[in-house]
Chains A and B, each alone.
Chain A
Amino acid sequence: MQRCLSRQQETSGLNSFVTVLRHAAEKEAAVAGRHRVMKGPLHGIPIAVKDNFCTAGVRTTASSRMLANFVPPYSATAVSRLEASGAIVVGKTNMDEFGMGSATLFSHFGKTINPWSQAAEEGDKPRLAAGGSSGGSAVAVATGSALAALGSDTGGSVRQPAAFCGLVGLKPTYGRVSRHGLIAYASSLDCPGVLTRTVADAALVLDVVAGRDPLDSTCLEQPHRPCFDRTMEAAASSRAAGLAVSLRGLKVGIPAEFAIQELEGSAVTAWEEGARLLRDAGADVLPVSVPSIPLALPTYFVIACAEASSNLARYDGIRFGYRASRSLRASRSKEGIGSANTEEDDQRALHDFITASRSQGFGDEVQRRVISGCRVLSAQAYATYYEKALAARLRLRREMNTALSHVDVLLTPVTPTGPFPLTTPAEPAALMVNDVMTVPASLAGLPAIAVPVDLAPSSFVPGLPVPVGLQLIGRHLCEQQLLIVARALEVRCNFSERIPDYVVKATFT
């Protein structure tokens, strides 16, 4: 614990935390140290929690000015389960506001910097993005400020920052982990996920947080099949047999549609290398087709923005959250309190008040998505946008499931490029392309995992090695199998031994 807390302090310059719970964590660690009986499998383990998971009594901001002072009265199910298993929350991590972004760039609390950018002291080199929206969680784990982190993945928000920071990022099946207490971005896509250094750690944390929850009716009823033991078992038995992990009899699909133009050379190389490693491990690697992939990104944005526009409607400055300085009372008195006010005058004053609170409380990207969402749900646009998106989503889901009926897992890149510089002008559309590889699994509700596989020179900062990850997409609720394959890949890539010292040891204050 002390090691994590000092790493947190040493790397505070990367801005991975919104709130650090130093004293609480130290106290809990001391208590945990005294206990003879383990509370659970994560007894005493320092964990970072993305700041969109409610934590009772601890400020939960979703990195928004809107919730800068919001202290929830209850904890998210995922957080409660972590704590019940002995984990200690060391802090709340920075993110793109309400999860909307792919770089942890759009935060009321500032950008988060990727520790792979080299030491921050070398000021002339551009700093790289940690990815997002769970960038703070990724950096917390990458720097050793926490041993694992809770993230949330709506369109890739766990997998993409994991890939950017050289970590394992697991997005389980939609509904495998309760969303209760996760501040909603897009309800039908939001998925609590896990960022860790290793596949086994991800499996362990998943086993703790997964399973049905009466407080979330979209949470699946099926009991969770524990993953940690199976993942380790598969590795152990294979090792005994002289192999890293045997994947004999397993089929891996390579979906052709993921080979898009924007894909960097290093990503293509890593993809091919990954396929070869899995073949070496005994798997059959074969091409598959998911024809609707090109529709995935626009479909995702229509659905995510539509749901966001409604989910974020509750932030009106009336019950909680940011309230515009010009109060409703002031708006009213301007119109003149008294019988002269008509219902319509007061409606207008109320409208102005809500508009002011929302315009000041939400950042630009959130406002863009909320406005887009309102648009696609409007009577004029519903049929051309929202309805079409639902149909496309259904088609994509069918195609993915069909592909996964022929093979056990799909292997794809995580992102078209490696981590990009934070100085990149925040052109909203360009940033969205980053999600192109990750949104299909989100739309289909399938489990997916990013595994770091290689180092490659950054295409943005000459000479700088940056991590490259690969994504595995599994069948509905088949996390066990997905993790076994991920573990096989991990063992053969041996990525963790190749992380440069300056990433895990350097200080960034």
Chain B
Amino acid sequence: MGKGGGGGDGKKRSELQEVLERYEPVVGVEVHAQLLSDTKAYCGCSSHYNPNIPNANICPVCTGEPGTLPVPNARVVELASKAAMALQCEIAHEVRYDRKNYFYPDTPKNYQITQYTHPLGAGGCLELPSGRRVSITRLHVEEDSAKMVHQGSDSLAGSTHSLVDFNRAGIPLAEIVSEPDMRSGAEAAEYGRELQKILRYVGASDGNMAEGSMRLDINVSIRPRGEEGLRPKVEVKNVNSFKSVQQAVDFEVVRQARAYDAGEVVRQETRMWDEKELASKLMRVKEGESDYRYFPEPDVPPLALASSVVQAWRATLQELPAAKRARYQDPAGLNLDAETTKFLTDDLAVARFFEAAVEQHGAEPKEAAKWLVGDIAGHLNGNKGRVKEFRKIKLTPGGLAELVDLIGQGNITGKIAKELLPELLDEWEGGEEGAVLALVQARGLEAITDPAVIAALVQKVLEANPEKVEDFREGKTKLLGFFVGMVLKESGSRANPEVVQSLTVEALNGA
């Protein structure tokens, strides 16, 4: 089996296209998302740890010292239940835990407390923006393992020795398993993005791929188009971005197709995604199912989930991304375009800002959206680090509403607004209503609409450029733009552009 692709991007794509004509990819995704509880799943240690200070947030429970017992954290069940509800899962009436037994140095007790026979949520589904419906098999809670740091190599293989950092041990996770319902790398990535959004919307997880608080394993198999059954699947781990999800699926599709084309079999195996080489590499071959000797966790009694409690949690659920998108695009409502909607709803903080500006402060929706998508996003340096940057801005929803309103009323020009924006975003200390206008007035930046004042400016520009006036009058009408620009500049961008336009035309055509 050689590496998939080989040549440039273009070659890879065309090869993928060729393969896709004959084979259908079948993709399922397993997600591990760290739940946002303040303490760990089974002890009182803080779950906010500094990755640079190993073994700082640990106690005898985290390291599995003899005699220690797990004490379940109720908040974990709440957060996981909310995520399960958002994924339309049935919620279990009783929370039960099981032990999964296996020996590995990152698992302090050499078993993991998880849920096997009775997952917290089951039978859900997630509809992707592209329309694909992905069934959710189950959502269960479990504890994270410690982190192994291998010295002298990236993995256990080839390292001289390995260190174990228990900060992560016992951090609560939700494992979310999908059915193999996706049919391309793009869909798998889309699923990951949408799931991330949902987890963030319900506050269950920050879903940060780069920091490992959301981790994806993908299961990929292919089958000849028209074939019904499933062929052996390959699990790909270490997929650390949504871009990698798509790349890894596409790579596997081509790799497996080549194997089938060559008359080989595709083994059920686990592979690692290598981000640098853009290739999956063999980790281990699965010889049948591992026997984890699951059994009910005797240290944690089953916990009944009263329907009143579940109802109360359900009542706190926010509008989910799909519903929000539909509402933003509703022609009878906000009527925003798809791209604007996507930008506003991708991050709940942005959506909340937008909604506050529109609903509480009466901003004109399209204009407010335009500012958010355009200049504000531009100022925050596009998409890079947007989430964090956005939370830091000083401009309030009320401030944005006032700004939009001042432009709409002609009180300031768009140009002035753009010039003021960086200050409003980075330094502004305003807040109360009228603060933007007060700032504008204090700086003397109100729009000039008085025709007499503008006419005087026009006159001044014309007098300063007699030759160009001649040229215009001899037919070089393109010079109108030059004169308008000069007048605006003369006004310090404060003159109303429409008035300037009409008065300039008037003056040029007049005497």
Interface residues of A (CB under 8 A from B): 53-54, 60, 62, 67, 70, 72-74, 76, 179-184, 186-188, 214-218, 306-307, 309-310, 313-316, 318-320, 329, 332, 337-347, 350-351, 354, 374, 377-379, 382, 386
**In the complex, A338→B104 CA distance in Å?**
21
Shortest Cβ gap from B167 to chain A (Å): 15
Shortest Cβ gap from B141 to chain A (Å): 15
**CB nearest neighbor in B for A54:** B67
Contact of B293 among A53, A62, A186, A374 (CB under 8 A): A374
Shortest Cβ gap from A416 to chain B (Å): 28
B66 with A314: CB separation less than 8 A: yes
Interface residues of B (CB under 8 A from A): 60, 63-72, 99, 101, 103-105, 108-111, 152-153, 155-158, 160-161, 164, 283-284, 289, 291, 293-295, 298-301
Q: A182-B67, A217-B300, A320-B66 are in contact. Are A379 and B160 (CB under 8 A)?
A: no
B66 with A217: CB separation less than 8 A: no
A54 with B66: CB separation less than 8 A: yes
A310 with B60: CB separation less than 8 A: no
Shortest Cβ gap from B41 to chain A (Å): 12
B71 with A183: CB separation less than 8 A: no
B161 with A329: CB separation less than 8 A: yes
**In the complex, A72→B105 CA distance in Å?**
20
Shortest Cβ gap from A429 to chain B (Å): 24
Shortest Cβ gap from A29 to chain B (Å): 27
B66 with A313: CB separation less than 8 A: no
**In the complex, A217→B302 CA distance in Å?**
10
**In the complex, A183→B294 CA distance in Å?**
21
Shortest Cβ gap from A78 to chain B (Å): 11
Contact of B69 among A67, A70, A217 (CB under 8 A): A217
Of B104, B156, B160, B283, chain A has the most CB atoms within 10 Å of the CB of B156
**CB nearest neighbor in A for B297:** A187
**In the complex, A354→B105 CA distance in Å?**
10
A218 with B67: CB separation less than 8 A: no
Q: A72-B65, A72-B67 are in contact. Are A313 and B160 (CB under 8 A)?
A: no
B66 with A187: CB separation less than 8 A: no
**CB nearest neighbor in A for B42:** A217
* Contact residues in B for A314 (Cβ distance below 8 Å): 64, 66, 108-110
B284 with A73: CB separation less than 8 A: no
Q: A217-B70, A310-B293, A378-B293 are in contact. Are A319 and B64 (CB under 8 A)?
A: yes
* Contact residues in B for A184 (Cβ distance below 8 Å): 66-67, 299
B295 with A386: CB separation less than 8 A: yes
* Contact residues in B for A53 (Cβ distance below 8 Å): 67
28 A–B pairs (Cβ distance < 8 Å), ordered by A: A54-B66, A72-B65, A73-B60, A73-B65, A76-B67, A180-B68, A181-B68, A182-B67, A183-B66, A186-B298, A187-B298, A215-B71, A217-B72, A306-B295, A310-B293, A313-B103, A314-B66, A315-B66, A319-B108, A329-B160, A337-B160, A340-B158, A341-B158, A347-B284, A350-B103, A374-B293, A377-B294, A378-B291
Q: A377-B101, A377-B295 are in contact. Are A319 and B63 (CB under 8 A)?
A: yes
**In the complex, A338→B105 CA distance in Å?**
20
Shortest Cβ gap from A367 to chain B (Å): 15
* Contact residues in A for B60 (Cβ distance below 8 Å): 72-74
B283 with A60: CB separation less than 8 A: no
- The A contact surface, by secondary structure, is loop
B63 with A343: CB separation less than 8 A: no
* Contact residues in A for B110 (Cβ distance below 8 Å): 313-314, 316
Shortest Cβ gap from B219 to chain A (Å): 20
**In the complex, A48→B161 CA distance in Å?**
42
A313 with B111: CB separation less than 8 A: yes
Contact of B156 among A218, A339, A346 (CB under 8 A): A346
**In the complex, A310→B160 CA distance in Å?**
30
A354 with B103: CB separation less than 8 A: yes
Excluding A179-B69, A218-B299, 16 further A-B contacts by CB distance (< 8 Å) are A60-B67, A72-B60, A74-B67, A183-B67, A309-B293, A310-B101, A316-B105, A316-B110, A318-B164, A319-B164, A337-B152, A337-B158, A337-B160, A341-B158, A343-B284, A350-B104
**CB nearest neighbor in A for B285:** A344
**In the complex, A67→B99 CA distance in Å?**
24
B158 with A339: CB separation less than 8 A: yes
Shortest Cβ gap from A75 to chain B (Å): 9
A180 with B301: CB separation less than 8 A: no
A343 with B157: CB separation less than 8 A: yes
* Contact residues in B for A218 (Cβ distance below 8 Å): 69, 298-301
Shortest Cβ gap from B319 to chain A (Å): 36
B291 with A379: CB separation less than 8 A: yes
**In the complex, A382→B103 CA distance in Å?**
20
* Contact residues in A for B69 (Cβ distance below 8 Å): 179-180, 215-218
A351 with B65: CB separation less than 8 A: no
**CB nearest neighbor in B for A329:** B161
Shortest Cβ gap from A155 to chain B (Å): 15
**CB nearest neighbor in B for A386:** B295
A181 with B67: CB separation less than 8 A: yes
**CB nearest neighbor in B for A373:** B293
* Contact residues in B for A343 (Cβ distance below 8 Å): 155-157, 283-284
**In the complex, A307→B298 CA distance in Å?**
8
Q: A343-B157, A378-B291 are in contact. Are A187 and B105 (CB under 8 A)?
A: no
Shortest Cβ gap from B268 to chain A (Å): 16
**In the complex, A347→B106 CA distance in Å?**
13
Q: A70-B66, A73-B65, A183-B66 are in contact. Are A316 and B101 (CB under 8 A)?
A: no
* Contact residues in B for A217 (Cβ distance below 8 Å): 69-72, 299-301
**CB nearest neighbor in A for B300:** A217
**In the complex, A105→B104 CA distance in Å?**
32
**CB nearest neighbor in A for B290:** A379
Shortest Cβ gap from B193 to chain A (Å): 31
Shortest Cβ gap from A293 to chain B (Å): 23
* Contact residues in B for A179 (Cβ distance below 8 Å): 69
B299 with A187: CB separation less than 8 A: yes
* Contact residues in A for B161 (Cβ distance below 8 Å): 329
Shortest Cβ gap from B80 to chain A (Å): 18
Of B110, B284, B300, chain A has the most CB atoms within 10 Å of the CB of B110
Shortest Cβ gap from B162 to chain A (Å): 9
**In the complex, A446→B160 CA distance in Å?**
53
B109 with A180: CB separation less than 8 A: no
A342 with B157: CB separation less than 8 A: yes
**In the complex, A343→B272 CA distance in Å?**
12
* Contact residues in A for B104 (Cβ distance below 8 Å): 350
Contact of A341 among B101, B157, B284 (CB under 8 A): B157
**In the complex, A67→B104 CA distance in Å?**
20
**CB nearest neighbor in A for B105:** A318
Shortest Cβ gap from B226 to chain A (Å): 35
Shortest Cβ gap from A508 to chain B (Å): 31
Shortest Cβ gap from B260 to chain A (Å): 26
Q: A319-B64, A341-B158 are in contact. Are A310 and B111 (CB under 8 A)?
A: yes
**In the complex, A382→B116 CA distance in Å?**
14
* Contact residues in B for A187 (Cβ distance below 8 Å): 298-299
Shortest Cβ gap from B69 to chain A (Å): 5
* Contact residues in B for A320 (Cβ distance below 8 Å): 65-66
**In the complex, A62→B67 CA distance in Å?**
11
* Contact residues in B for A74 (Cβ distance below 8 Å): 60, 65, 67
Q: 6 nearest interchain CB pairs?
A: A313-B110, A187-B298, A377-B293, A188-B298, A181-B67, A54-B67
**In the complex, A318→B166 CA distance in Å?**
13
* Contact residues in A for B67 (Cβ distance below 8 Å): 53-54, 60, 72, 74, 76, 180-184
Shortest Cβ gap from B111 to chain A (Å): 5
B71 with A214: CB separation less than 8 A: yes
Shortest Cβ gap from B66 to chain A (Å): 5
Shortest Cβ gap from A344 to chain B (Å): 6
**In the complex, A339→B154 CA distance in Å?**
11
**In the complex, A216→B300 CA distance in Å?**
8
**In the complex, A72→B65 CA distance in Å?**
8
